[in-house]
Structure formats: structure tokens, C-alpha cells
Structure 1
């Protein structure tokens, strides 16, 4: 028998550490090659750690929420075969034995000290058949047994009040997929509530880790360091909605359906051309404003794990349809947890929208270190006076916040009024200045 040590891989250029956000296995589990063992997070991007070999988990390094340096051992596997040291473990030095895990028995620790820390089964060798299944793929599972599922699936189950131990997994090694949850819901198998009324004195402690912790840290920085000024203006989008419906009815099959966001993005590009100071990042420690020529618009998107901000790069060089296609692509990547670090970074100004639940007025928090954020509220039909009578119009508020250290209230108002004029007369969006 040999031992294989999995170290935290390089998860992105310039990244020195990552936060451990999920274990999908426990000590004693038998795993197969390519099975996802853990998930780590850095800069809002979640990276899954697969197993490169078949074997048995004998040690897990780190607790959920712990920040681990790149290259640190995180998993030990017992494997069949003589094995050899992996090339990636120590590129310039012979492999050395790792310190035994705290919970190892003395005999196991002694074995560890007498052989290399990381060995790999030879290609022609395979793990012997296990006496027990790798994972229990039937439901319900036994008490304490952790089902195998991605972070997104676990979050969706938590939000729906579903115990994943009661859900059958059809993926590899019993992995529970979104389709398995859909089937579970379709059977009406949600956990039933108690019919009796009784006091609940329980207190649940929820450790703030992963994306939730990063959101908390960023919001705290934004609110503590940026003096916000919020400006609200109502927009008559009746003509815009008519144009949008007409364009969607004529669109090609390969074109994305237009929402209001691409129109707003193009209006912002034109308004920024007149007021470039709105498209900037403020380094308040160095007292330097970095004013960008490229308009990189962040689109705040709600995902099962929390709020992320994928970025439409160079909106100034994109058409209406191109903006729509890129928004769809980024939204899908964000919701499925496949967005890359590149897609989640580099914004110079942000749009935030709650869609149909957008409310009447919001007070958006600026995406630090940007200096402006545009908030989209829901469209409502309201009676508006045209000088002779009240007529129904489709109205929408823009609730936008600005960094008052570098953006004066007058400049904020001029910016929003320019956007308002473009959205209320949408043909002007397509007119070259």
C-alpha cells in the first residue's frame, strides 16, 4: 500500500491562498479518480478539487472557513501499489514525509515516516474492489453520512429546507445534481412542517464562510470608507418597452432576448463619454483616482451562494445585441458557479437590479473601489398627467449611489438626467454623437 498527498493547487495567477468552503468526503471514504473531494474559494470564484487517483481518505487538513496557503497538504489518500512520488509534489527536491495527521494512530504515523509523503499508483495498477460501496447512493442515508453534492446544489437545498440525505443522487458515485433536486420537488417530497403550534427555543449557529464572508467584508469596507449619496429619479420607459418588444419580435434565432439592461448599458456608455469621472476607481489610500477609458460594467447577480458581480468588458465597443448576449453568458456562468476570475473582476461601474422584485426605491451600496452604482427598480404602470388628462405610462425608478468624496451631487444629477433622456427617447441611444 502507498500514500498519496494532495496539495492545494495554484487556483489562479497571483493567488497565494484560498478559503476552504466545502468538504465532499470524510476520513474512511473510498474515492475514485476525478471525484470532487473539496471546494475552495478565492476572489468569489469557487474551484473544485478532484482526486487524481483511486484510494481511501485517511486525513483531511483544515476546517471549513480556514484560509490555506497554495501548496499546503489538504488531503491524504491510501492507495494500492508501490507507487512513486508525483512530479508536481517537489519539482526540485526528493519528496519528504509529511507530518502525521493529529488523529492518526501511532502505528500509522510510523509507517508515514518510513516512506515518501506522496506516491501515485502505476498506470497499469488499479485500486482493488472495495468491500463496501464508495458512497451510499440511496435515500434516506444514515445519520451523519454526508451526501455528495456541489456547493450550488447544497445552497439550493438549504434555501428550500431540504435534507440532502433524503435525496437520491444519480451522478457519479451518487453525486446529487440539480436534476435530482428537481425530481425530488416534483414528487412533493419536501420536508413536511409540523401541524402543532409549539415554541421553538433553538439557536442555530451559522459560520460565515466562503462567498458570504467575502460579501460581508466587501460591504463593510464600502459602507465604512465611502460616504454615499443616493439619487433617485423616475424614468418613463413606455417608448423603450415598445421598442424592446418590437426588436425582440424581429430578432434572429441566434440573438439573445433583449431586457432593459442592454439599453441601460448603452445609455451609460454615452453618458460616461460626457462625464468620464463617473467611470473610475478611487484609491483612497494613495489619494489617486484611476479614470478608465474602457467602460467595464459589473452586473450584480444573485446566485444560490450569494451576490456576485460578473463584468461586461468594454461595453463602449459592444452593440445592443452584443451586450445582451454577454449579459446572458455571464449570468449563466454566475448562477452555475462556473464564472472565472477574469469574468468576476475588473469592473469600473456597476448596475444592480432585483428584476421584478426591484421595489420602488433602493439604496445600492457602491462596489468598492468604484465611485458609482446604478440601481434599477421595477417597472410599474402609473397614471401620469400629460397636461390635459391622466394617461397610463410605464414608469421605472433609477436609484443610484455615488462616492461623495469624488462625485458632487450636481454631477450625479447631471449623469442620471442624461441617462433618463436617452431611455425616454430610446432612438437617441443609436445616434452617433
Structure 2
């Protein structure tokens, strides 16, 4: 037998290091060539690392959440051979996608139904290879095993809501299919509830679930969730923004009755190849016109150098919620796009973000951001600026409210805009002028289409 060392490969995009977000194997596991060993994250892309050889895992070089330099030893395996094999870099697999990211279009309020993940074709193997890859004998599970830190408690019944799809890698899905396990019944302890190999092992070891006890029960469990991957990057970005940027938030009420009438008419008469318009394309076009009058709001502040970079191109970031966390997809050059083009690009980027296929270029380079919680938007919010930008516009929930027209109260469709600004470079007056200009354009939407 010989020892084979696998190093962290160059995962692309010129990055020098990556964060380990998931192990697919443990010491003692037998793996085949091309078996997925681990998943690492660079920026916002998750990449799976396959094994270049058959062998037995003898050493793991990092823990979940560790940052590893490209070229550093990642895994050691015991392989067939007479002498040690020189360390080599594995070849990174394509970016990993969650199960619900492979097939579901982004649609607010809609849950995917059912699933079918085809099994990957088996590679031809020799008798020796099959023997080397055979799983080790499984010991009988103890009557009561202590819960692993970070694992969910083993409660009876389905661990997720009706229609909610489980998150798991293809390797876990294949194991579950071979074992006849319904992954919808398996609690996940990974980021965003992802099901790991350990979760599947624990579920199989537990066997059939016991009946749920009647009555109210005390719950003294404590789940320790390590902040890794995209969630850690979000935490770091938010901490940076709040620690460096003195925010000023300005909330204004917008009467969008006329805008909604126009939007309904345009959607009714749209061509088959045109997207269904939401409020966002109108807001984007209104922001473009307002920025033309106040270019200082479309800027990046390099606070270390003391320089504000005003951009001519309006690159609007659209904050989108995905199963893994918040990402900001960027509509480049909104100033050169009409209403329909803005809507089509927002839809395309939202679907790419949901599917995990958005590129680094599509997730960077914004100069001003829109954040919206849709129907969950609330009455008012205090958006955190997307550092190092100087402004963010927040869309709140649209509601029918009584409005006094001078003689009586009449029902109007109202929506608040909650916008935050970097008070170091944007005065309160300028912030108010910017929002008031957007208010005028949205309340009289015909002005959005007036050139000059």
C-alpha cells in the first residue's frame, strides 16, 4: 500500500484560497475515483472536489469553516501500490448546486412539487477495484447514541413542511436512493439545512421513527450551527457595512395607484417574448432618471483612500434571497435598458441566483442597490448599504389605504420606500431630494418615458 496526498486545486477565477464548507467523506471511508470528497466556496461559488484515485481515507487536512490555500494538502489516502505516490492537485468539479437549484424557476410564493434526480451512470470497474471500493462492515448502532453538536434533534415525523424539498449533494442523494431512504424524512444539520453523509448515517442507524408523544413536551436541545460558506460572507459584509458606514434612513410614502394601472395594462398587452412586469423595472427606470440629476448617489466610496468614484454607468444590484442566503445580482448599464429589457434581465439574474449558476461577474460591480421583501416587505425597513456603495433603495409592501383627497377619504394603493445613505458623503437634504424625485416619477409614471 502507498500514501496519496490530494491538494486543494486551483478552483478558478484567480483565487488563492477557498473555504471548506462540507466534507463528503471521513477517515476510514473507501472511495472510488471521481467520488466527491469535499465542497469548497470561493466568493459565492461552491465547487466540489472529486477524488482522482481509488483508496481509503487516512487523513483530513481541515475542518468545516477553515480557509485553505490553493495547493495545500487537503486529504491523504491509502492506495494500491508499492511506494508513496507524489502529492497531486485534484481537478475541481463544476460548481455544486443544491437539489432545489437544479430545476426550479424563481417564483415568489411557489414551492416545488415532487422531485426525481437520475442516478449517475456507473463506471465500469474491475474486480479488484470493486473489492477496494466495497464499503466497510457497519457496526450495530448503540441503543442510545449521544447527539452530535450541530445536529437536529431526532423528532418523529417529517422534519420539514409539506412540499419543502431537502437540500443534499448528488453523492448523498445516490446513497439515499440505494438505501431506500426518503430524504424528505431526514433532518439536515448542514448550512441552510443541507443533509450531510453523517445525517444520513444517523437516520439509517435510528431505524423507524417512534410515535410522537402526546401532550406538551420540554425541549432542552441546543443546536450549535457553525457559520460557514455564504452565510459567513454575508455576516462579514454586513459587519463591515455597519462598522464603517454611518447610515441615514429616509422613509417616504408613494401612491402607486396609477403605476399599478399602467403595469396591469402593459402586462395585458405584452408580447409572448416579453417578461411580465413587476414594480422593479419601473423603479429602476425612475432611479436612472433621478441619478442623472444627482450622479453622486451612483458611486463607490473608497474610505481608505478618501475617494468617491462616481460612475456614469448605472449598475443596479438586486438583492435576492436564495436557499443558501442573500446574494446581490447586478443589472449592468440600466441606463441603456428600456422597461422590458430591465424586467427580462431581472428575471434572468434571479433565476441564475436561485439555481446557483450566476457568475462572479453577474454578482459583482453594482453601484447602487435595490432591496425588496415583496409581499413580506412590512411598513418600513432600515436597509443596510451594500458596502462600498453610498445608497440603497428598499421596497416595502404595497397596501390599499384610505387617503384624504381634500373632500373625502378614497382607497389608494400605497407603498413605502425605505432608503439608506452613507452620511459621510450624502447629506440628508440630497437624500430627500433623490427620494422625492423617485416619488414624483412613480406617482406620475408617464414621466418615466419622457426623454430629456
TM-score (norm 1): 0.77
Aligned equivalent of 2:18? 18
Aligned equivalent of 2:66? 66
RMSD of aligned Cα (Å) = 3.7
Q: CA deviation at 1:291?
A: 0.8
Aligned equivalent of 2:413? 394
Q: Does structure 1 residue 425 correspond to structure 2 residue 444?
A: yes
Q: CA-to-partner distance for each residue in 1:146-173, whole Å, 9 max, x for gaps?
A: xxxxxxxxxxx98769997999989545
Q: How does 1:344-423 map to 2 (within 5 A)?
A: 344-423=363-442
Aligned equivalent of 2:149? none
Contact 1:232 1:361 in 2 (8 A): yes
Contact 1:32 1:54 in 2 (8 A): yes
User: Secondary structure of 2:416's partner?
Assistant: strand
Contact 2:322 2:354 in 1 (8 A): yes
Aligned equivalent of 2:86? 116
Q: CA-to-partner distance for each residue in 1:185-237, whole Å, 9 max, x for gaps?
A: 9xxx9998653323333332222221121111111111111111000001111
| Matched pairs, number | 379
| CA gap 1:414/1:197 in 2 versus in 1, 3 angstroms | same
Q: Does structure 1 residue 294 correspond to structure 2 residue 313?
A: yes
Q: CA deviation at 1:117?
A: 2.9
Unpaired runs of 5+ in structure 2? 91-122, 146-157, 188-207
| Whole-Å separation in 1 of the counterparts to 2:38 and 2:80 | 22
| Whole-Å separation in 2 of the counterparts to 1:168 and 1:49 | 13
Unpaired runs of 5+ in structure 1? 83-110, 145-156
| CA gap 1:81/1:173 in 2 versus in 1, 3 angstroms | farther
Q: Does structure 1 residue 324 correspond to structure 2 residue 343?
A: yes
Q: CA-to-partner distance for each residue in 1:386-430, whole Å, 9 max, x for gaps?
A: 222211111100000000000001110111111111111112212
Q: How does 1:331-346 map to 2 (within 5 A)?
A: 331-346=350-365
Contact 1:358 1:378 in 2 (8 A): yes
Q: CA deviation at 1:252?
A: 2.6
| Whole-Å separation in 2 of the counterparts to 1:169 and 1:397 | 46
Aligned equivalent of 1:29? 29
Q: CA deviation at 1:318?
A: 1.6
Contact 2:30 2:132 in 1 (8 A): no
Q: Does structure 1 residue 251 correspond to structure 2 residue 270?
A: yes
Q: CA-to-partner distance for each residue in 1:103-125, whole Å, 9 max, x for gaps?
A: xxxxxxxx54xx423499xx998
- Compare 194-203 and 384-393 and name the one that shifted more: 194-203
Q: CA deviation at 1:371?
A: 0.3
Q: CA deviation at 1:270?
A: 1.0
Q: How does 1:15-414 map to 2 (within 5 A)?
A: 15-79=15-79, 112=84, 115-118=85-88, 128-130=129-131, 171-174=173-176, 194-414=213-433
| Whole-Å separation in 2 of the counterparts to 1:422 and 1:165 | 43
Contact 2:54 2:132 in 1 (8 A): no
| Whole-Å separation in 1 of the counterparts to 2:167 and 2:394 | 40
| CA gap 1:76/1:319 in 2 versus in 1, 3 angstroms | farther
| Whole-Å separation in 1 of the counterparts to 2:441 and 2:136 | 58
| Whole-Å separation in 1 of the counterparts to 2:259 and 2:253 | 14
| Whole-Å separation in 1 of the counterparts to 2:68 and 2:450 | 52
